[in-house]
A and B are shown apart, each in its own frame.
Chain A
Amino acid sequence: MTMFLSNLISGISLGSVYAIIALGYTMVYGIAKMLNFAHGDIIMVGAYICFCCLYSLGFSPFVGILASMAVCTLLGILIERLAYKPLRQATSLSVLITAIGMSYFLQNLAQIIWGANPKSFQTVIPAGNVSLMGGELKISYVSLVTIAASVVVMLALSLFVGRSKMGRAMRCVSEDKGAAQLMGVNVDLTISVTFAIGSALAAIAGVLMCSAYPTLKPTTGAMPGIKAFTAAVFGGIGSIPGAMLGGILLGVIEILGRAYVSSELGDAFVFAVLILVLLVKPTGLLGKKIQEKV
């Protein structure tokens, strides 16, 4: 029982990291209607920036997180302006390929700047754990903070998109780019802001992920990026609560699958569940069915 609970908490904690990454994916998809495959690599850049601030420049973790958010925000806007904006009228396939190219570009740029050797990330959250059930169940602080952070980020994002003026502009652009422009919405600015927020979230995800799983190298973001994309599709791409739900479920399935089915087949299990869900519910768990009006 304790073992199950402990695995469950590991799963939720891993899932929370996927959820924060998936929020970035889903937001960009929902609003700009493109899959930003470089998202996973922005996470890696965020973690490296934080690593540098802490390890080489000796800043406090708080400054490190802020610096990495700032750099990632700029990077996100820059990528959007340079690589994606010129392709706004192009087919979605061109944008997709550009995004994959951007992903490899960032990985190789990181390798040139920081080298290929892995770095060990110093956790920004104090090490240690909370003991429950007479010391049998231990939950590390990192897990608690990660879970809390993902919930806070999800709620803040929902409020921002649902209540603020910029949020309304985002929903308009998502629904119909052309009409939004006619109604005086600045489409370019809205999409830039979307990328900025998505990339800032990626920085937070990077720092949290590397605090829990401390090996940092240029390909660190690639696999979590793909899993988070899976999570976003699983929960219904474009939906903010969907990304959260998808991320956490994915993490729990992965850990429980590894613990109780086979440690060799953890990933196979995750993707099998994805296929099943999409067969039954093609729009994902919380995805909306969009009706095309003729």
Chain B
Amino acid sequence: MKKVFALVMAAVMVLGMFAGCSSSNAPAATEAPKATEAAKTDAPAAAAGAIKVGAIGPLTGDYAQYGNAVANGIQVAIDEINAKGGLQFELLSEDDQGDPTMSVNAYNVEMEKGMQVLLGTTTSGACAAVADVAKDERVFLLTPSASNPVVNEGKDNVYQVCFTDPNQGASAAQTIKSLGVGEKIAVIWNNAQDYSTSIYQSFMGKAKEIGLEVVSDTTFSDDSNADFSVQLQDAANAGADLVFLPIYYTPIVAIMQQADAAGYGFKFFGVDGMDGLLSVEGFNTALAEGSYMLTPFDANKTDELTSAFVSTYKAKYGDTPNQFAADAYDAMYIFYAACQDLGFTAETSAQDVCEAMIPWMQSYTYTGLTGEGMVWTADGCVSKVATAYIIKDGAYASVG
């Protein structure tokens, strides 16, 4: 038995040697970011009178980077707010791997623990499932990142911090047209994902309306997201000069590298899912040079709010925060404002929070990391401008 123990210890130590490279700016090997745990354990020992805020998202699995970003973004905001004294908050964070069934289970677990409001869930599919349950139980959802319209269609209790997919698709088409960045457009989208499908559909609708020429239209799925030779070749054969990518940044890394290796000279245009691309460890940012994207958040902005958030986040988790983390941070501050305005305490029931939040959200105006003067419609959609950026010298620069 001792031998076995020694072997295991040796293995752990060997792996530990490599742990240091999890992030180039992590202080030391032993402090490598353990995002999932950090989100749970860093909460100051649940003060008795803390308002319980729920977060649900994929902390493990294929979409883990998004769920962790959201949980971490909320945690950064909570730490700041708790440090001010006054109202205290506690984060309940659960993993759903982006799966609707697991998400509903996670929701039930958090309700058992006394959750008063849910700042989630992270992904659209799971959020729609949880929202159905929460609508009947009268629990308020303020989702930082679930951008699909299915999330709040016919549900009065769900509000979004991020802008909606159809908005983005249409404004992407509009931006391409008005900037004149591409004549012949190829689209590569993920047909297994609500987010991508929804942006794709509204993009195609708008493109037709304003006369953009889409010459190549190809898809992939989560199960085949490594090889893009077929899609890129189709685009090249059709003579495309701009590739529109309504997808998350992980496959974009592969698409850009494969397009470069094959020697195609495409320009790329991404949406908010592309945010995070430049901080992928090992990614050659020269490949993204001259690409366009729409995003509400730019980690390189030098205003006080952004730089304070980015530096705290980096110090705590060793990564540059992406748009998901920023939206989550904003969501927490929106709820904090609500608590102050509406006088919520740790004793307020989730139902009372919900009924008070719904009218309040429609009259509230918020300015934060991801936008100025944000207001909400009764459908729960936010008015937010999608700003177009161009990637220049490895950073976002304004277009024009």
Tell me if A275 counts as interface (CB < 8 A to partner B): no
CB neighbours (8 Å) of A140 from chain B are: 261-262
Interface residues of A in 67-115 (CB under 8 A from B): 71, 74-75, 78, 81-82, 107-109, 111-115
The reply to whether B233 and A114 form a contact with Cβ atoms under 8 Å apart is no
| A-B pairs with beta carbons under 8 A, tally | 162
Smallest CB-CB A-B distances: 9 pairs: A56-B21, A116-B64, A213-B226, A120-B283, A10-B229, A120-B282, A52-B21, A263-B218, A119-B281
CB neighbours (8 Å) of A259 from chain B are: 230, 233-234
Q: Chain B interface residue count: which class?
A: 35 or more
- Candidates A81, A122, A138, A264; contact of B282 at CB < 8 Å: A122
The reply to whether A258 and B230 form a contact with Cβ atoms under 8 Å apart is yes
Q: How far is the CB of A55 from chain B (nearest CB, A)?
A: 5
Query: Chain B interface mostly helix, strand, loop or mixed?
Result: helix
Tell me if A188 counts as interface (CB < 8 A to partner B): no
Known: A10-B229, A57-B21. Contact between A223 and B257, CB under 8 A? no
Question: Contact mask A192-214 → B, CB, 8 Å, 1/0?
Answer: 00000000000000000100111
Known: A82-B4, A111-B36, A258-B230. Contact between A55 and B11, CB under 8 A? no
Tell me if B215 counts as interface (CB < 8 A to partner A): no
Known: A109-B15, A215-B226, A263-B219. Contact between A56 and B263, CB under 8 A? no
Q: Chain A interface residue count: which class?
A: 35 or more
- Candidates B7, B229, B261, B263; contact of A255 at CB < 8 Å: B229
Q: A120–B287 Cα gap in the complex (Å)?
A: 12
Interface residues of B in 169-200 (CB under 8 A from A): 191
- Candidates B36, B251, B284; contact of A215 at CB < 8 Å: B251
Q: A224–B191 Cα gap in the complex (Å)?
A: 20
Q: How far is the CB of A12 from chain B (nearest CB, A)?
A: 11
- Candidates B60, B231, B261, B284; contact of A129 at CB < 8 Å: B261
Closest to B318 in A: A115
The reply to whether B22 and A214 form a contact with Cβ atoms under 8 Å apart is no
Query: Chain A interface mostly helix, strand, loop or mixed?
Result: helix
- Candidates B33, B237, B282; contact of A115 at CB < 8 Å: B33
The reply to whether B229 and A119 form a contact with Cβ atoms under 8 Å apart is no
Known: A14-B227, A116-B68. Contact between A214 and B20, CB under 8 A? no
Tell me if B303 counts as interface (CB < 8 A to partner A): no
Tell me if A142 counts as interface (CB < 8 A to partner B): yes
Tell me if A229 counts as interface (CB < 8 A to partner B): no
The reply to whether B21 and A118 form a contact with Cβ atoms under 8 Å apart is no
Question: Contact mask A1-43 → B, CB, 8 Å, 1/0?
Answer: 0010011001000100000000000000000000000000000
Q: A71–B14 Cα gap in the complex (Å)?
A: 8
Tell me if B304 counts as interface (CB < 8 A to partner A): no
Q: How far is the CB of B257 from chain A (nearest CB, A)?
A: 5
The reply to whether B35 and A116 form a contact with Cβ atoms under 8 Å apart is yes
Q: A189–B262 Cα gap in the complex (Å)?
A: 45
Tell me if A51 counts as interface (CB < 8 A to partner B): yes
Query: Which of B24, B223, B257, B280 has the most A CB atoms < 10 Å from its CB?
Result: B257
